[in-house]
Amino acid sequence: MNNMDLEQLNRQNFKSLSDALAMPGKITKIKSVFDSHLLAVANLLFFNEVTYYYSGDEDITLIEAITNPKITTIQEADYILSDVIDTRLILEAKKGDYLNPDFSATLIFKCEDFNSYSHLLSGPGIDGKKEVNLPCNKKFIDVLMKKNSDYPLGVEIFFINSIGELIALSRTTKVEVR
Amino acid sequence: MRYGFLDEDAKKEIRRATLKAIAIPGYQVSFASRELPIARGWGTGGLQVTLAIINEEDCLKVIDQGCDGSVNAVNIRNFIVSVTDNQTTLDTVCADIIQSRHRIPEEPMREGQTLVLQVPYPEVLTNVEADSYKQKVMHANSDYAKLWVLLYEDTAQFGDSRIGHRYPVMVHDRYAMDPSPIPKYDTKKLNNNKALILLGAGREKKIYAIPPYTKVEPLKFEDREFKVESFANKKCARCGASGVFMDEVHTNEGEVKFYCNDTAYCDKQLEKGAR
Amino acid sequence: MGFVAIKGGEEAIKNSLAFYEEEINLNQKIDAFAIENSLRYGVDKVISEGSLYSKKLSAQAILKAGGDLLNASFFLRAHRSSCARAGIAKTIHTDEMRVVRRISSAFKDIKGGQILGPSGDYEVKLILTKTIDKTVWDDYKNDDIFVESALKPLRDANMIKTLPKDEHISDITRVFPSAPYPRSAVMQIMARGESGSMLAFAYTSMRGYGDVHPTIGDLRLGRSEVKFTHPFTKNEVKIGEIDITACEAAATFEKQSDGSTKLTTGFGCCFGFNETKAISMSILDTTLYNKSHTIGQGGIADNFEMIVHHIDGIESQGFTNHYKLPHYVTFQADLQVYENAKKYLSIGEKK
């Protein structure tokens, strides 16, 4: 692990994650852990009191051993990580209740790049409207918009591309497909 | 001692609460709230948020009642520096993180900056409903009738709300929120602010947030003006500035003088004038 | 400019701390060792409210705080925050406690007997010192004493109301729950609560704002083993012993949802020898889970919000003292609103 300071990486990566969520559509950078950007995010978010579900091929065992979260089902998970963009995960993720809308899932999707489709974003964190490229199609956006239609209930989505760039959609973000 | 005093699990919990708070503007997220070597009620909520989000590259500014040199600001700044060794500044423009008690700086903040406000009473409904479960139900239903009744009763009796500071606001048209004990003069700065605003209440164990570019409006009747503190015709006796929030100072000679409350702003004005 | 001109706060703080040091240390001829071994009830109060079992650190904190026990507890809590949680120990059963003192006022004689042990209850409070001779009984034995709760026979006879167990045991230092509060969280809050605050709330119920006139079913002071699962061998190992106080109070009877009628009880338990606190806690546990019958639900000590949010000494002390911080911005804001209201009213009078 040649002197890798995981806590220091977490500090830096947290800034990227919170900036991305506070300003949906803004691209920030994640520094990798064990050569993986997804594992870096897992290492940042996982701890004793949270649950997760992972669908993918990366070796998450070491991060799990270090951070000690609980593995659970898609329906129960605080964090849902996936190597591919899958609307089923959004459909099944928990979205909180009116008393505790924060008891809801955050989804983290890996993708190759963001250059698939152009979308128009608006909502908190966005100065008016903002055009961004996202790796998801109209069907995905329809599912997400439906999931997040009962605000304050909903989910947050992060996309990480192959070069460690991060982009987020908050539950308050309105997305129009261009 | 480890960077940022708190152990990594504590930070992770605070960060999780912070992210949820950003996702649901104005909604209070519960957190465990660790005890710090600084007393409860003295800014431990803001301090925990700052310690959980700060990294080596951040330049820090700490103010209390508008002043970087106030004893509590000095104490909190010294503590943070002793556990992070980070750079500090008095300049609002240069700071990445500003921890503040009871004021939003005069100079506008920009994207990428974070304002951390210390909060004594996170629950805007406290004055009309003491039971925390009932408060939660009221928030769940966006039922703020009791706040409106309070506003109505005050207006009928005194022409306006009796609330002088920590004036209730509506965030993103959904949650009524306590903006921490800032004066009404600062309330309008919450609307569409470019910086991320994080609010931390240590004793009451709540974190909430206003992301940048978020609609924040004071709770008021449509036909009533939202009156903020006015210092009309007053000039700072030190730098000559006007139109800012001022401190009223009674001198030993019995004179009343006015000074910029934001002391870093005052210093800057003075410097500009001298040039 | 006095209070407002708090620039230069840096030097002011330093000097203030230096004066404080002088105030405390000038004639200090004792050390932490002496405190730990002579002021045990002070030390025990601090480990209990500080929520950290270390008599040594407690004694040091008392010394540092110049004898202010609430402040000393604050030192321990702050220290506790910087310690990582290694794991969760096994449940301690009070029946397995090595008892040094045990009384029950519910029965004249009980299994295991009444054991007065060390107590100042019957001390005549005269400040003059006098030595007390100890009588050595002929049948005195040096054996460890373990006793079961004096209420066990009643419990075995199904006469006592039992509350459902929490499925998940809270840890309020990790996740602070929202209302409705799980019982395990409420018990933790009380176990680290401030003795005086808990006493006052419990007293409201005894005296008139409630109807709990408890009988002390079982009060035990003693030592309990702390056991832990070894992280590598997975064997159960003893990692030490702690002094604890445990109290069971019995109160009035109540009709249950299944139609039966049962006695209500409450449980109090905390670090160290803190009888008043453990008794107060057992009464609060009774009042919270058994609403008053005589004055309706208008009591103080039967209100979860009242107890959960107002008995922590570190919090209430901190907040009370924070009013010493400058509040001139908020006061200025309030003054302007007051001026506006005055203007509005005077216009109204002229009409």
Give yes or no for a contact between A90 and A159, defined as CB atoms under 8 angstroms apart. no
Residues C43 and C77 in one domain: yes
**Least confidently predicted of A74-83, C19-28, C310-319:** C19-28
Q: Three-state secondary structure along chain A? A: CCCCCHHHHHHHHHHHHHHHHHCCCCCEECCCECCEHHHHHHHHHCCCCCEEEEECCCCCHHHHHHHCCEECCCCCCCEEEECCCCHHHHHHCCECCCCCCCCECEEEEECCCCCCEEEEEECCCCCCEEEEEECCCHHHHHHHHHHCCCCCCCCEEEEECCCCEEEEECCCCEEEEC
CATH 3.40.50.11310 for domain A6-177:
yes
Contact call for C174 and A49, based on CB within 8 A: yes
Is C190 inside any structural domain? Answer: yes
Residues C148 and C22 in one domain: no
Among B6, B16, B29, B35, the residue to mutate for chain C (most C Cβ within 10 A): B35
Subunits touching B (CB < 8 Å, at least 3 pairs)?
Answer: A, C
Domain of residue C337 covers 319-346
Subunits touching A (CB < 8 Å, at least 3 pairs)?
Answer: B, C
Q: What are chain B's domains?
A: 8-218 (3.40.50.11310), 230-275 (no CATH)
Task: Return the active site residues of B.
Answer: 26, 236, 239, 260, 266
Contact call for C336 and B229, based on CB within 8 A: yes
pLDDT in tens, B228-261: 999 999 999 999 999 999 999 998 898 999 999 9
Q: Which residue has the tokens 């500071």?
A: B165
Chain A residue whose CA is closest to B55: A11
Residues of C in contact with A48 (CB under 8 A): 174
Task: Name the residue ranges covered by the structural domains of chain A.
Answer: 6-177
Instruction: Compute the nearest-CA separation of A14 from chain C (Å).
Output: 20
Residues C101 and C242 in one domain: yes
Contact call for C12 and B71, based on CB within 8 A: yes
Residues of B in contact with A49 (CB under 8 A): 13
Closest CB from A14, A48, A125 relative to B211: A125
One-letter identity of residue B47: L
If one counts every other C-beta atom within 10 angstroms of the C-beta of residue A20, the result is 27
Report the percentage of chain A scoring pLDDT > 90.
96
Residues C70 and C110 in one domain: no
Query: Given strand A174-177, what is the order of strands in its sheet?
Result: A129-134, A117-122, A174-177
Contact call for A100 and C174, based on CB within 8 A: no
Q: Which of A73, A142, A135 is nearest to A105 (CA)?
A: A73
Between C299 and C31, the more confident residue is C31
Please classify residue A145 by burial: count the beta carbons closer than 10 Å to its beta carbon, then call 0-12 exposed, 13-18 middle and 19+ buried. Answer: middle
pLDDT in tens, A4-15: 699 999 999 999
Mean per-residue pLDDT of chain A: 95
Residues C223 and C186 in one domain: yes
Residues C113 and C40 in one domain: no
Confidence of residue C212 (pLDDT cuts 50, 70, 90): confident
Residues of A in contact with C178 (CB under 8 A): 99-100
Question: Is the link from the previous residue into C180 a cis peptide, with omega within 30 of 0?
Answer: yes
Residues of C in contact with A100 (CB under 8 A): 178
Residues C167 and C296 in one domain: yes
Can you give the pLDDT at residue C143?
85
Contact call for B9 and A12, based on CB within 8 A: no
Q: Is the pLDDT of residue A73 over 90?
A: yes
Can you give the pLDDT at residue C2?
30
Measured distance CA(A162)–CA(C244) in Å, rounded: 57
Question: Chain B, 30-69: which have a CB under 8 Å from a chain C CB?
Answer: 30-37, 39-42, 44, 64-67, 69
Chain A residue whose CA is closest to B30: A102
Which of C27, C56, C81 terminates a domain? The answer is C81
Residue C160 per-residue DSSP state: B
Residues C189 and C63 in one domain: no
Is C88 inside any structural domain? Answer: no
Q: Is the pLDDT of residue A25 over 70?
A: yes
